[in-house]
Amino acid sequence: MTAERIQDGIPIHAATDVVREISADDTLLISGFGSVGYPKAVPLALADDEADYSLTVVSGGSVGAEIDVSLVEADAVDRRFPYQARPPIRESINDGAVAFHDRNISTLGDEVRYGGLPDGGVAVVEALAAGSDWFIPTTSIGQTPAFVRSADKLIIEVNQSVPEEVRRFHDIYRLGTPPNRGPVPLTDPGGRIGKNSVSFDPEKLIGVVQTDRRDQPYAFRDPTEADRSIAAHLRSFLEREVERSPLFEESVRIQFGVGSLGNALMGALGDADFDDRELIYFGEVIQDGLLDLLDDGKLASASATSLALSSEGHERLFEDVDRYAEDIVLRPADLSNSPALIDRFGVIAVNSALEVDLFGHVNSTHLNGTRVMNGVGGSGDFNRHSPLAVLALPSVAADGDISRITPMVPHVDHTEHDIDVVVTEQGVADLRGNEPRETARDLIESCAHPDYREPLEDYLARGIESNGHIPHDLDTALSWHANR
């Protein structure tokens, strides 16, 4: 391995040496988002170290097994913020062995910087290249700039498995400090206002570690029949909405949540008839479906904070960085998820969830209201600030044994005020302007699986008999979840 990407004079160390600068109860501010762009050598060295660690780990989004498996199995993690996506960390959180606090993505950097979450500590970041007071991130930006600004110390992993040309995607712009924070000067979703590197105080740098360990990218499942039906219903709804709403006179701006369903829904837009309007993506993650749209000439630009691609998708992108860099921009997460920019560009939000209740409340994170799955991620940022928030999900789970349309969700991530439209493989329920009884009837008739419509109707009827603006039957509301 060469040191060509590391500026002369920068201290280069083995990962086993730099971990000596990390205290047993330190806070680690970790780069990474969408399971890419996270450090690998230092977490593995910590996991193998004989010291008794009780670390607080903060990341901008999901990271790889080196952190959320190896560190957890080494019993080195005491607290975790604000998102996770691996079974070992999930099990430890649900068993109470690891304390977990879930947060919206857009405000995470500020919360670390201004003391709302653990600040200080050690920033451990992955880079393409590094100098005395700068480094260039790899396949994600996330909250890395804010973490580096907040940290007391900095360790940089220079990963030579990522092509240096990936720097062409980056547009790193730092927000000012309130109350003197000005508006973000971005007027085009695909525009650029920053630079490709993150600057830092040289006094913070402990050293640079070299690695060539690759990310553990997404493995998207093949679209199911339900996925294809959801995509068809969504496409038809959006075609009608674009035709009728002055919001889309010039272009269609859209965001999709990360995952296999979101990836499948992206692909469905390739067949949509938007009457020559440009299609623009403004969201958190670049997934394989967006590369397909770019290759087919059906997407004008794509702005995100992470290249959350499959192995095949990464190879495809790395082989033609110059062409894709004309249309793909990676920004810090406080811009990719910015409420102000979501509002400014009028971004359609399309996200999934575990379940939605008859009155529009959404549970994205907790099975039966108790066992956390991943985290709320950026869905709250987009659902709440989008002019059109769409919830897309199958009507059933567990091979039909569980209805995802339920009388009352046992945990609320998004309220009835955050969601405008619900789409399942059964159809579309447009909830805008509805009162609660209308919302319930629309969801039963248009989105619920036929096997569950009658019991849902019975529940609604019992609630109506009890009167009230929201007609719940509280005696039986949670019985739908009790025996799962």
Report the share of the chain in percent with pLDDT over 70: 99
**CATH number reported for the structural domain that contains residue 451 in this entry:** 3.40.1080.20
Do 189 and 259 share a domain, yes or no? no
Do 335 and 438 share a domain, yes or no? yes
Q: Is residue 216 part of a domain?
A: no
Q: Are strands 402-403 and 362-363 parallel, antiparallel or unpaired?
A: unpaired
Q: Is residue 338 part of a domain?
A: yes
Q: Is residue 20 part of a domain?
A: yes
Do 248 and 159 share a domain, yes or no? no
Do 61 and 152 share a domain, yes or no? yes
Q: Are strands 27-30 and 55-59 parallel, antiparallel or unpaired?
A: parallel
Helix 260-268, helix 225-244: angle, nearest 10: 50
Instruction: From 211, 235, 266, give the residue that closes a domain.
Output: 211
Do 100 and 31 share a domain, yes or no? yes
Closest CA to 381 of 28, 60, 57: 60
Give 79-115 pLDDT, tens digit per residue.
999 999 999 999 999 999 999 999 999 999 999 999 8
Q: Is residue 484 part of a domain?
A: no
Per-residue confidence band for 260, with pLDDT thresholds at 50, 70 and 90: confident
Give 53-72 pLDDT, tens digit per residue.
999 999 999 999 999 999 99
Instruction: Say whether 66 is catalytic.
Output: no
CA–CA distance, 81 with 100 (Å, rounded to integer): 6
Do 178 and 235 share a domain, yes or no? no
**Active-site hit among 284, 312, 319, 326:** 284
Q: Is 53 left (phi over 0), alpha (psi -120 to 50) or beta?
A: beta
**CATH number reported for the structural domain that contains residue 187 in this entry:** 3.40.1080.10
Greatest pairwise CA separation for the chain in angstroms: 77
Q: Is residue 402 part of a domain?
A: yes
Per-residue confidence band for 24, with pLDDT thresholds at 50, 70 and 90: very high
Give 405-445 pLDDT, tens digit per residue.
999 999 999 999 999 999 999 999 999 999 999 999 999 99
Structural domain of residue 201, as residue ranges? 12-211
Average pLDDT, the chain: 94
DSSP of 453-470, one letter per residue? HHHHHHHHHHHHHT-SSS
Does the pLDDT at position 483 exceed 70?
no
Instruction: From 159, 180, 211, give the residue that closes a domain.
Output: 211
Q: Is residue 172 part of a domain?
A: yes
Looking at per-residue pLDDT, the higher value among 159 and 264 belongs to 159
**How many distinct structural domains can be found in the chain?**
2
Do 293 and 384 share a domain, yes or no? yes
Instruction: Judge whether 60 and 32 are in contact, CB under 8 Å.
Output: yes
Do 136 and 241 share a domain, yes or no? no
Q: Is residue 2 part of a domain?
A: no
Do 206 and 246 share a domain, yes or no? no
Do 43 and 103 share a domain, yes or no? yes
Per-residue confidence band for 1, with pLDDT thresholds at 50, 70 and 90: very low
Per-residue confidence band for 263, with pLDDT thresholds at 50, 70 and 90: confident
Q: What is the mean pLDDT of residues 248-277?
A: 88
Do 455 and 315 share a domain, yes or no? yes
CA–CA distance, 218 with 468 (Å, rounded to integer): 46
Do 266 and 407 share a domain, yes or no? yes
